[in-house]
Amino acid sequence: MGSMRPSIRSKSSGPVGQHLANGGNAREELSVFESESFDADSYVQGKCQSMSEKGIRKLCSELTELKRDSAEEMRKSVYANYSAFIQTSREISDLECELVSMRNLLTTQAALVHKLAEVQLPPMISENGGSLPHENGHVDDDSTSASETEARALLDVTDIYIAERKIEKAMDALQRCEALLRPLKSSTSLEQLFMEQRLRLTELLTQFAKQPSIRSAELRSVISALDRLGDGPHAHTLLLYSHHDRLQRAIANLRPSGTSYGGAYTAGLCQLVFSHIAQAARSSTAVFGEQPSYASELVLWARGETENFVALIKKHVLSASAASGGLRAAAECVQIALGHCTLLEGYGLALSPVLTMMVKPSVEQALDANLRRIEDSVSVLAAADDWTLVQPPPRTGLRAASSILFPPHLKLSTSAYRFISMVQDFVDDVTPLTSMHLTSTTLDGVARLFDSFVHLLMRAMPAAIDDEDVPEITDNLSIKVADTDAEKLSLLANAAAMADELLPRTIVKILPLKDREESRMRRSLDKPATGVRSEHREFRRRTQRAVDKLRDRFCQKYALELIYTDEGESLLSADLYLGLDNDGDTANSAWLDDPMPSPVFQTLFERIKTIAAAGGDVMSGRERFVTVLLIRLVETVVLYLSSDQDFWEDIEDGPRPLGPVGLQQMVLDMKFAVQMAGQVNHSSLRHLRQLVEDLIARAIDAYAATGMDPYSVLPEETWFMGMAQEAIDRLSGGWSKDSASPTASVSANSISSLKSHGSP
C-alpha cells in the first residue's frame, strides 16, 4: 500500500494529517492503532472531548476523504497487480494437482511394496501345525478370505455396471470394495483390479462429460462423481471445458446482424457468454464449494471467455463502429456488456475491469473517428455560412429531448448551431461510458473541436498582416470573409457564447456527480465553479485562450488599419510628436489654447463608437464581452506604440529632441486612451493603465535627457484628465450620458454603461 502515501500526505493540514506529518513522532502515534487492545470508541471519545463541534465536523470530513482515497488506492493496487495474482493462483492450482497425483502414486506404491513383501516372506508354520501369530497379536482366519472373496465379487459386479453404464451403481460397488480392501494387507491382484476399475469408471465419466447433448444437471452429477473418485482437479477442469465447448457451439450458431449497429448481435452474444459463465460458477460452487484453487481456476477461465467475447465484439461490431465514427453504437454495445458483467459480481467474478481494459482502445478509436467526422462536417457548414446571427432552430428527432435549452438572448450563426448540436450528441453518446475513465479524453476531444472551429472563424476574420496563430490552409474550403463590423462581431459572438455558456453546460454531463452538483449550484448563483476537477478547469482555460486569440486578431486588424495608410506609411511615428516644437513658445501657446488628442487617437475613438454601436445590436446580453473587446482594442494601439523600436529610437536618440509640446501631446494622448477605455475596474484596464504609465515615464525620461525639467512644462494630472474628457465630449457629437443610443457610453466614460452587469 505504498501508493497511498502521497494522498495521505496531501491532507496533512487537518488533525488526522498532522499525526502523519510530525516527523519522528508519527510512528509512535500510529503504534496505538496496531495494538490488539485498541478500542476505537475510547480513542475517539478521548480525542473529541477537547474539540469543538466545528473541529469534529472537520475531522469527520478528513476521515471520510481518507477512506475514499484509501479505497481508490486499494482498487488501483489490486487492478495493477491483478495479472500477478492470477499467475500465482494458476501456479498454486497446478501445484495442488501435482500434489494430489503424487499422493495417489505414493499410495499405490506403498500398497505394492506391502504386497511384494508378503509374497517374498511366506507365512511360518509352527511345530504343532498352526500358524504363528502376527506382531499385532491377531491370527489369520477365514474372515480375511471372505473379505477378499466379497471384494472380488464387488469388482466383478462393478465391471458389469460399467459395461451397462450404470454410474451410480458402479460408484456404490467401488466404494464398498474400497472399504473391504482398506484393512486387508494382501491380495495385490485385488488392489490392481480395483485401480483398473476406478480408471475405467473415470474414463467413462469423462466421456459422459464431453458429450455435446449432456444437460447441466447431468454434467453436475458426473463432475461430482469424479470428485468422489478423488480426481477433483481434473473434474473441475473438465467442468469448465464442457461449458466452453457448449458455449463455442452456441456462438457458432449466432450470426452477426450484418449491420453497422450490431446491437442485436451484442445482446445475443452477451446473453450466451455471460449466462454460461454464471452457470459454470454455480456448478463449481455447488460441487467444489469455495476452495481457493478451484475459485482461481474459475476466475482464469472466466477471464479467458471474456477475452474471446471481446475479440468477437471487436471483429463484428466495434471495428466497423470505430472506422465509421459510430460512437453511439460502440457505446451501447459496451454498456450492454458491462451490465452483464455487473450481474456476475454476485458470483465473485469482477470482469468489468477486464472488459473495460480490452475494449477501451476500440472505443477511443471510435471516439477519435467521431471527432474527425464532426470536424469535417463543421468545416463544410462554415464554408456555407454568411455569419448572420439567427435564433436557435428547433431540434427534432430522438436527440431533441436531451438538447440544451438555449438562453433567450443567445443568437449564433448556422454553422455554430450545428457545431454545438453535434458536440451535444457526442457528449450524450460518451456519457454512459463514464466508468471507462474517458472524461479526460472526451474533454480533450471537445477542446480540439472548439480549437478547429475557432480556426475557421479566424480564417473568416481578415488580418492586416500574416498571423502565425492561423494554421496553414490545406483544404479547398472557401470561407466567406467577414467584411462589415457586424459580421466580424458575429464571429466573436459565436466563439464567446460557446466558450462561456454552451460548452460548459454540455460537458457537465460527463463530470463526476460531486463536481456536477457543485457546478450546477455555482452556476445558479452566477459564480465560477471553483471546486470542479482539474480537467474541467483546464478545459475552460483552453477554450478561453482560443477566444482570446480570435479577439486579439480582431483588435490587431483594427489597430493596424488605424496606424498605417494604404501606402504602408505609419500615422503614429515619432514625427507626430517631434514636429510640434518647431515654432518654440508660439507652438506651445497655440497648443494650450486648443489641446486635442492626435488625429490617430481621434480616429480610434470614432472606431470605438462604431464597434460599440454594432456590438450593442449583435451581442445583446453580452455587454461584458464588448467591454473587454474595446479595452483590448485601445490596449493594442498603446502596446504597438510602446513596442515600436523605431519610434523610441527617434524620440530618445534622434537628431531632433522631444520638445515640451510633443511631451504634452504624448501625455494627453495616453490619458485620452485611458479615458476612452472607461473608468471600470477590470483587469484589462489595469494592464492598459500600467502600459500608459510606463510609456509616459519613458517619454519624460527622454525629455529630461535634453537637460530640461519635464515637470516645469507638464500641467497637473487633473488638467490632462479634464482635457481628455472634454475631447471625448467634443468628439461624441453632442451625445449625452443618458442617451438611448448603444454608443452613449462612449460619450461620457466610453464603455462604462456596457459594464452595468459587472466585469467578468
Residue 62 C-alpha cell reads as 478528513
Is the predicted pLDDT of residue 135 greater than 70, yes or no? Answer: no
Range scoring the smallest mean pLDDT among 59-73, 175-189, 222-236, 549-563: 175-189
Contact 256, 223 (CB under 8 A): no
Q: What pLDDT was estimated at residue 685?
A: 80
Residue 547: inside a domain, yes or no?
A: yes
Contact 93, 296 (CB under 8 A): yes
**pLDDT band for position 322 (cuts 50, 70, 90):** low
Looking at the structure, tell me whether residues 328 and 459 fall in a common domain: no
Q: What pLDDT was estimated at residue 469?
A: 53
Helix axes 53-80, 82-120, angle to 10 degrees: 60
Q: How far apart are the C-alpha atoms of 317 and 266, rounded to whole Å?
A: 8
- Rounded to 5°, the CA angle 332-335-339 comes to 140
**pLDDT band for position 225 (cuts 50, 70, 90):** confident
Looking at the structure, tell me whether residues 395 and 353 fall in a common domain: no
Looking at the structure, tell me whether residues 335 and 389 fall in a common domain: no
Q: How far apart are the C-alpha atoms of 327 and 707, rounded to whole Å?
A: 74
**pLDDT band for position 111 (cuts 50, 70, 90):** low
Residue 173: inside a domain, yes or no?
A: no
**pLDDT tens-digit readout, 690-727:** 999 999 999 999 999 988 898 888 889 899 999 998 99
Across 97-107, average pLDDT: 77
Is the predicted pLDDT of residue 133 greater than 70, yes or no? Answer: no
**pLDDT band for position 672 (cuts 50, 70, 90):** very high
Length of the chain in residues, anyone?
760
**Can you tell me whether residue 227 is helix, strand or coil?**
helix
Which of 534, 553, 572 is the last residue in one of the domains? Answer: 553
**pLDDT band for position 532 (cuts 50, 70, 90):** very low
What Rg value do the Cα atoms of the chain yield, rounded?
A: 44
Q: What percentage of the chain exceeds 90 in pLDDT?
A: 13
Across 543-548, average pLDDT: 93
Mind spelling out the 3-state secondary structure of 38-68? CCHHHHHHHHHCCCCHHHHHHHHHHHHHHHH
What mean pLDDT value characterizes the chain? 76
Residue 293: inside a domain, yes or no?
A: yes
Looking at the structure, tell me whether residues 517 and 603 fall in a common domain: no
Contact 569, 644 (CB under 8 A): no
Residue 181: inside a domain, yes or no?
A: no
Looking at the structure, tell me whether residues 330 and 444 fall in a common domain: no
Domain count, the chain: 4
Q: How far apart are the C-alpha atoms of 421 and 436, rounded to whole Å?
A: 24
Work out the burial of residue 391: count CB atoms within 10 Å of its CB; fewer than 13 is exposed, 13-18 middle, 19 or more buried: exposed
**pLDDT tens-digit readout, 258-275:** 444 567 888 888 889 999
Looking at the structure, tell me whether residues 697 and 571 fall in a common domain: yes
Q: How far apart are the C-alpha atoms of 458 and 470, rounded to whole Å?
A: 7
| DSSP letter (8 states) at residue 501 | I
Residue 6 C-alpha cell reads as 502521497
Q: For the stretch 40-66, what's the b/e string if a residue is b when 16 or more beta carbons lie within 10 angstroms of its beta carbon?
A: eeeeeeeeeeeeeeeeeebbeebeebb
Work out the burial of residue 113: count CB atoms within 10 Å of its CB; fewer than 13 is exposed, 13-18 middle, 19 or more buried: exposed
Looking at the structure, tell me whether residues 568 and 547 fall in a common domain: no
Q: What pLDDT was estimated at residue 758?
A: 34
Residue 369: inside a domain, yes or no?
A: no
Looking at the structure, tell me whether residues 508 and 478 fall in a common domain: yes
Q: What pLDDT was estimated at residue 169?
A: 77
Residue 334: inside a domain, yes or no?
A: yes
Q: How far apart are the C-alpha atoms of 155 and 163, rounded to whole Å?
A: 12
Q: What pLDDT was estimated at residue 455?
A: 92
Q: Which of the pair, 159 or 382, is modelled with greater confidence?
A: 382
Q: How far apart are the C-alpha atoms of 459 and 447, rounded to whole Å?
A: 18
Which of 49, 80, 111 is the last residue in one of the domains? Answer: 80
Of the ranges 157-161, 337-341, 565-569, 689-693, the best mean pLDDT one? 689-693
Mind spelling out the 3-state secondary structure of 524-545? HCCCCCCCCCHHHHHHHHHHHH
Contact 108, 35 (CB under 8 A): no
Phi, psi for 465 (deg, rounded to 5): -135, 170
**Per-residue CA distances from 587 to 443, 660, 701, 704, 712 (Å):** 62, 10, 22, 20, 17
**pLDDT tens-digit readout, 43-74:** 777 777 777 878 888 888 888 888 888 887 87
* Helix (H) and strand (E) counts in the chain: 31, 0
Q: What pLDDT was estimated at residue 28?
A: 61
Taking Cα atoms as reference points, which of 633, 651, 606, 613 lies closest to residue 739?
Answer: 613
Residue 53: inside a domain, yes or no?
A: yes
Contact 467, 551 (CB under 8 A): no
Phi, psi for 284 (deg, rounded to 5): -60, -45
Q: What percentage of the chain exceeds 70 in pLDDT?
A: 76
Is the predicted pLDDT of residue 456 greater than 70, yes or no? Answer: yes
Which of 64, 80, 96 is the last residue in one of the domains? Answer: 80
Looking at the structure, tell me whether residues 652 and 702 fall in a common domain: yes
Q: What pLDDT was estimated at residue 238?
A: 87
Taking Cα atoms as reference points, which of 448, 424, 438 lies closest to residue 330?
Answer: 438
Looking at the structure, tell me whether residues 399 and 534 fall in a common domain: yes
**pLDDT band for position 470 (cuts 50, 70, 90):** low
Q: Where is 308: in which H helix or E strand?
A: helix 292-313
Q: What pLDDT was estimated at residue 668?
A: 93
Is the predicted pLDDT of residue 253 greater than 80, yes or no? Answer: yes
Looking at the structure, tell me whether residues 539 and 573 fall in a common domain: no
Across 240-247, average pLDDT: 88
**pLDDT band for position 463 (cuts 50, 70, 90):** low
**pLDDT band for position 124 (cuts 50, 70, 90):** very low
Residue 391: inside a domain, yes or no?
A: yes
**Per-residue CA distances from 721 to 597, 718, 726 (Å):** 12, 5, 9
Looking at the structure, tell me whether residues 721 and 596 fall in a common domain: yes
Contact 753, 616 (CB under 8 A): no
Say which residue the cell 455435446 belongs to: 212
Q: How far apart are the C-alpha atoms of 411 and 618, rounded to whole Å?
A: 8
Residue 739 is part of which domain span? 564-755
Q: How far apart are the C-alpha atoms of 327 and 429, rounded to whole Å?
A: 7
